Amino acid sequence: MHFDIVIHNGTVITMNSDCNIINNGILCTKNDKIVKIEARTSNMPLPEAQNAIDAEGGIIMPGLVNTHTHLPMALFRGLADDLPLSRWLNEYIFPAETKHIQPESVRLGALLSCAEMLLSGTTTCCDGYFFEDHVAAAVNEVGMRAVLAQGVIDFPAPGVSDPADNVNNALKFIRKWDGLTPLIIPSIFCHSPYTCSKETLKKAKGAADDNGVLFQIHVAETKDEYLQIQTKHHATSIKYLDKIGIIDQNTLLVHAVWLNDPDIEIIAKRRAGVSHNPESNMKLASGIAPVPALLKAGVTVGLGTDSCASNNDLDLFSEMDTAAKLHKVNALDPTLMDAVTVLKMATIGGAKAIGLDRATGSLEIGKQADIIIIDTHKPHLVPLYNPVSQIVYAARGSDVRDVIVAGRTLVKDRKLLTVDLENIIEKVIRFSEIIKKK
């Protein structure tokens, strides 16, 4: 067989069910799929291929999966820091969105976020925002894989002046993008159980189920939410959502910080996925999600960055490092959240949480060719005894050299090939000047 791409001379971290690691590995792609993975012996000639990529002793691994983003909010990076979530949202972010979020600015912010993610090794993201049609167009232009959701909220929002149209607007988005391109999967995102009524939640979940798409929701994020839902519904956020039929295997619960043991039992029983966003939760002082307990209960947990407005970057390498260390120190147990567990959350676990584990998240024959190469010839990455530990505790997004999505090279030698990054940066800077003046 004549291959499209042959990647060689690197350590292959497969993230398959056995977490196999192949020293001096070789990986071959044809069209958009992985068709061959094996160790290369010293006398084995390279297979014929249109493009041979020498990993130069680096790490060859699955592209990372970011399970929670609001891509256009990169435009608000650093706008309102060091604030509690309620003030951050109500006094800064919601007003900024009302004034400045338009189709063109949404596209611009999404392009910036996609560029940042690809250059730092993320090949798949799960997003929710407004004007999501324009987010999808930007993601499609850059060439990433994504689950993208039109936001639903019970007050006027960008692009949806009448809240009564929120779910219908989401349905229009689904119908447009369902099957339009294999890289974009539509979804619905209800903002939270305190900004969406029971009627809206049930209507949105029903629409998601009828169309076979993922339903996303911020839930149990803060103590304020916990107290508000307890007061209004006499239940935890999870118990309330479960009672009205929101939680099942096609639900992604984002944050899931304020959980008790019965909540964890419900999540595990319903087989819902969880997106863990440690850096955003730390920065907003929301709390620490009980991830070790969720994992012990068999819940699928992926890693997310949240938006640049509350993180303030989209680097999943730093998110892995934070996730591993946060839970160790919280429990005073250095054995918790070991490197393999955390890397699973950023790859195959994240893919499973958003319903894409059959397509991506690991390097296996027949799966999509979503691959990154890490340059390990750097002071902070030598010596290399354990490649998985090195990725979680030492590697950075800037160490990513090459990125391939669906068999297409999007980043080569740290250069983004699909869009003009300098032009995007210049436009974002001009946009920020407008915000500063207002």
Over residues 111-134, the mean pLDDT reads 98
Position 98 scores a pLDDT of 86
The sign of the torsion formed by the CA atoms of 91, 149, 343, 32 equals: negative
Euclidean distance between CA atoms 152 and 173, whole angstroms: 12
What pLDDT is attached to residue 118?
Answer: 98
Angle at 122 between CA 127 and CA 220, to 5 degrees: 40
Mean pLDDT of 86-99: 87
- Residue 1: is its pLDDT beyond 80? no
Note the pLDDT of residue 276.
98
Q: Can you list the domains of the chain with their CATH numbers?
A: 3-62+367-416 (2.30.40.10), 64-353 (3.20.20.140)
- Mean pLDDT (whole number) for 314-327: 98
pLDDT (average), residues 310-320:
97
217 falls in which pLDDT band (50, 70, 90)?
very high
Query: Across residues 220-228, what is the average pLDDT?
Result: 96
Of 36-45, 81-90, 104-113, 116-125, the poorest mean pLDDT is in 81-90
Tell me what the mean pLDDT of segment 94-123 comes to: 95
In this prediction the pTM is: 0.97
Q: pLDDT tier at 44 (50, 70, 90 boundaries)?
A: confident
- Distance CA(344)–CA(216), nearest Å, equals 21
230 versus 92: which is more confidently predicted?
Answer: 230
Res 85: pLDDT: 81
pLDDT in tens, 128-141: 999 999 999 999 99
Q: Does the pLDDT at position 84 exceed 90? A: no
DSSP 314-367: --HHHHHHHHHHHHHHHHT-TTSS-HHHHHHHHTHHHHHHTT-TTTSSS--TTS
Rounded alpha-carbon distances, angstroms, from residue 251 to 189, 193, 219, 341, 354: 10, 14, 11, 22, 8
Cα distances (angstroms) measured from residue 219 to each of 244, 247, 272, 333, 356: 14, 11, 12, 27, 22
pLDDT of residue 93: 87
Q: Could you give the CA distance from residue 238 to residue 356 in angstroms, rounded to a whole number?
A: 24
Please choose, from the candidates 146, 143, 174, 121, the residue with its C-alpha nearest in 3D space to the C-alpha of residue 71.
Answer: 146
Dump pLDDT digits (tens) for 366-425: 999 999 999 999 999 999 999 999 999 999 999 999 999 999 999 999 999 999 999 999
Coil, strand or helix: which one is 289?
Answer: coil
* Per-residue burial over 28-66, b = 16 or more CB atoms within 10 Å of its CB, e = otherwise: bbbebbbbebeebeeeeeeeebeeebebeebbbbbbbbb
**Which amino acid is residue 228, in one-letter code?**
Q
* Rounded-to-integer distance, Cα 244 and Cα 259, Å: 18
pLDDT at 230 over 80: yes
Per-chain mean pLDDT for the chain: 97
- CA torsion sign for 280, 204, 71, 394 is positive
Phi, psi (degrees; rounded to nearest 5) at 114: -60, -40
